[in-house]
Each structure stands twice: as structure tokens, then as C-alpha cells.
């Protein structure tokens, strides 16, 4: 029972503030949507994008800490670490495109980042729920 309580505590995010970090991440992704016509070279976009990248890094660190203390199968943990790398690569490519002055709008970026983050968070939620249910049985 003690193991279940510990995992429930971690999964709810109380131990690592995972939900708070996730909420901040979602808020910042939505902030990009508020400036859909800005190009990725505009100061507004760059400032908001930096906030998003910092929030994503914080969230990923928290998630990696959580993955380190759960008993999820290693293959599941590796899938999330690979997803972190993929999202960080997207951020890097956007940064490079911005430096090169590529004429791309924020809405295109929002769609790209939003879809990938949504997939990542949805899969994590599903895996954690399944994992918790296996402890209950």
C-alpha cells in the first residue's frame, strides 16, 4: 500500500509540481496563439517563444525526475525521453529559422508545437493512468 501511495503522490504532481509546470507550459503555448500574424522574427514572438522554451525545459526536467522514481517500464521511460528530444529539436529548428529571418508566422509554429505537446501529454497521462490501475489490481 505504501508503494501505491508514493506513486499516486508522484503521479498527481504534488511531489514534483508536475501539474503546475504543465499548466504553465500550456498557458505559454496558448500565448503564441494570441499573436498568430507575428512572424517568428518579431520581438513579440521571440519573447514569448523564449518563455515557452524555458517552461518546457522546466517541465521536462520535472517529468524526467518523475520518470526516474516511478516503476514504469524502461521502454516507456525511453519513449518520453525521445519525445523530449524531438520537441527540443523543434524548438532548436524554430530558433535557427528565426535567426535566419525565415518568413514564418506564429500560427504555423503554434500548430507544430501544440500538436506535439498535446500528443506527448496525452500519451503520458494515458500511460500513468494505466500504470496506476495495474497497482490497484
Q: Percent of the chain, pLDDT > 90?
A: 13
pLDDT at position 106 is 77
Bridge partner list, 105: 39
As given in the structure block, the three cell numbers for residue 57 are: 525545459
C-alpha span between 53 and 91 (Å, rounded): 7
* Tens-place pLDDT, residues 4-49: 444 444 444 444 466 677 777 777 777 767 666 678 888 888 888 8
Domains observed in the chain: 2-136 (1.20.120)
pLDDT value for 101:
87
DSSP state of 105: B
The average pLDDT across 101-114 equals 81
Q: By C-alpha distance, which of 31, 47, 26, 32 is closest to 120? A: 26
Amino acid at each position: 500500500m505504501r508503494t501505491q501511495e508514493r506513486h499516486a503522490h508522484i503521479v498527481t504532481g504534488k511531489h514534483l509540481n508536475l501539474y503546475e509546470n504543465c499548466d504553465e507550459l500550456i498557458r505559454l503555448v496558448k500565448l503564441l496563439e494570441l499573436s498568430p500574424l507575428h512572424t517568428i522574427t518579431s520581438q513579440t514572438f521571440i519573447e514569448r517563444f523564449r518563455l515557452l522554451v524555458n517552461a518546457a525545459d522546466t517541465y521536462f526536467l520535472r517529468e524526467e525526475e518523475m520518470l526516474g522514481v516511478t516503476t514504469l517500464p524502461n521502454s516507456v521511460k525511453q519513449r518520453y525521453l525521445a519525445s523530449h528530444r524531438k520537441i527540443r529539436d523543434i524548438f532548436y529548428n524554430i530558433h535557427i529559422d528565426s535567426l535566419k529571418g525565415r518568413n514564418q508566422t506564429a500560427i504555423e509554429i503554434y500548430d507544430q508545437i501544440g500538436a506535439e505537446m498535446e500528443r506527448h501529454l496525452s500519451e503520458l497521462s494515458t500511460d500513468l493512468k494505466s500504470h496506476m490501475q495495474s497497482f490497484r489490481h
